[in-house]
Structure 1
Amino acid sequence: MNLELFIAKRIIGNKSYKSSVSAPIIKIGIAAIAIGIIVMLVAIATGLGLQQKIRDKVVAFNGDIIIDNYDSNASDESQVPISINQDFYPEFKTVEGIKHVQGVATKFCVIRTESEFEGVIVKGVGKDYRWDYFEDFLVDGRLPNFKENLNNEILVSRYIANRLALNVDDRFQALFGDSFDRLPRQVAFEIVGIYDSGFQELDEKFVIADLRHIQRLNKWEEDQVGNFEVFVDDFSELEAKTIEVHNNSHQFLKAKSVKEKYFTIFEWIKIFDNNTYGIIAIMILVAGINMITALLVLILERTQMIGILKALGSANWSIRKVFLYNASYLIGLGLLWGNLIGLGLLFAQKYFKFFPLNPQTYYVTEAPVYISWDYIVALNVGTFIVSLLMLLIPSIIVSRISPVKAIRFD
Structure 2
Amino acid sequence: MNFPFFISRRIVKNDARSFSRLIVIIARIAIALSLAVMIISSSMVNGFRKTISEKIYGFWGHINISKESLRSSYDDLPIDKNETFINSIKNIEGVEHIQVYARKAGIIKTKTDIEGIIAKGISSDFNSTNFSRYVLDGKEIQFNDTIASREIMISKSTADRLQLKVGDSAVLYFIDPGGNGDYTPRARELFITAIYNTGLEEFDKLFALVDVKQIQRLNGWNKNQVGGYEVFVKDAANIQSIAEQVDLAADPFWSVQTIQQIIPSIFDWLNLQKINERIILILMLVVALINMITSLLILILERTNMIGILKALGAANGAIQRVFLINAAYIISRGLLWGNILGLGICFLQERFGILKLPEQSYYVSVVPVEINYWWVLLLNAGTLILSLLFLIIPSLLVSKIQPIKAIRFS
TM-score normalised over the length of structure 1: 0.95
- What CA deviation, in whole Å up to 9, does each residue of 1:298-348 have, x standing for no partner? 111222222222222222111111111111111111111111111111111
What residue number does 2:114 align with? 117
1:228 paired to 2:229: yes
In structure 1, how many angstroms separate the alpha carbons of the residues matched to 2:368 and 2:144? 36
Q: Could you say which residue in structure 2 is the equivalent of 1:67?
A: 65
TM-score by length of 2: 0.94
2:398 alignment counterpart: 397
Give yes or no for contact 2:304–2:410 (8 Å, CA) kept in 1.
no
Preserved contact between residue 63 and residue 259 of structure 2 (Cα < 8 Å): yes
CA 22–211 in structure 1, closer or farther in 2 if over 3 Å, else same = same
**Residue number in structure 1 paired with 2:79:** 82
1:138 pairs with one of 125, 135, 139: 135
Alpha-carbon deviation of 1:189? 1.3
SS at match of 1:377: helix
Q: Supply the distance in 1 between the matched residues of 2:17 and 2:85 (Cα, whole angstroms).
A: 73
**Displacement after TM superposition at 1:371 (Å):** 1.1
Instruction: State the shift of 1:280 in Å.
Output: 0.6
Cα deviation for residue 25 of structure 1 reads: 0.5
Partners of 1:151 and 1:275 in 2: CA distance: 47
One-letter identity of the residue aligned with 2:110: T
Partner of 1:334: 335
Check conservation: 1:90, 1:102, Cα contact below 8 A.
Answer: no
Conserved in 1, the CA contact under 8 Å of 2:243 and 2:256?
A: yes
Per the TM alignment, residue 67 of structure 1 is displaced from its structure 2 partner at its CA by: 0.8
Distance in structure 2 (CA, Å) of the matches to 1:225 and 1:236? 28
Aligned to 2:33: 35
Write the deviation string for residues 114-143 of structure 1: whole angstroms up to 9, x where unpaired.
Answer: 000111111111111101232221222222
Aligned position for 2:344: 343
The code of the aligned residue for 1:382 comes to G
Q: Distance in 1 between matches of 2:128 and 2:273?
A: 29
SS state of the match for residue 184, structure 1?
strand
Q: Aligned-residue CA RMSD in angstroms?
A: 1.8
Unaligned runs of 5+ in 2: none
Change (3 A) 1:38 1:96: same
Listed as ranges, the matches of 1:1-400 within 5 Å are 1-12=1-12, 14=13, 16-78=14-76, 80-85=77-82, 87-90=84-87, 92-93=89-90, 95-146=92-143, 149-180=147-178, 182-400=183-401
Aligned to 2:377, the other structure's residue is in SS state helix
8 Å contact from structure 1 (residues 359, 365) kept in 2: yes
Distance 1:314 1:84 in 2: 83
Instruction: Look up the SS of the partner of 1:174 in the other structure.
Output: strand
Tell me the SS of whatever aligns to 2:164: coil
Counterpart of 1:4 in structure 2: which amino acid?
P
Return the alpha-carbon distance in structure 2 between the equivalents of residues 135 and 88 of structure 1.
Answer: 27
User: Could you list the per-position Cα deviations for residues 92-132 of structure 1 after superposition, in whole angstroms to 9, with x for gaps in the alignment?
Assistant: 25532111111111111211100001111111111111012
Q: Distance in 2 between matches of 1:216 and 1:144?
A: 17
Q: Retained in 1: the 8 A contact 2:178–2:184?
A: no
Distance 1:90 1:117, change over 3 A: farther
Instruction: Provide structure 1 residue ranges, at least 5 long, that are not aligned to the other structure.
Output: none
Greater mean alpha carbon deviation, residues 60-69 or residues 237-246: 237-246
Q: Distance in 2 between matches of 1:359 and 1:301?
A: 54
Q: Which amino acid in structure 2 is aligned with residue 27 of structure 1?
A: I
What is the distance in 2 between the residues matched to 1:367 and 1:332? 29
**Counterpart residue identity of residue 102, structure 2:** A
Give the secondary-structure state (helix, strand or coil) at the position aligned to 2:176: coil
Identity %: 40
Give, as a single letter, the amino acid of the residue that structure 1 aligns with 2:214: H
Query: Aligned partner of 2:319: which letter?
Result: S
**Count of aligned positions:** 407
Question: Residues 177 and 184 of structure 2 are in contact (CA less than 8 Å); yes or no, is this contact kept in structure 1?
Answer: no
1:221 CA drift (Å): 1.4
CA contact (8 A) 1:94 1:248 kept: no
Structure 1 distance, partners of 2:404, 2:136, is: 75
Alpha carbons 2:48, 2:370 under 8 Å: kept: yes
Aligned-partner residue type, residue 275 of structure 1: N
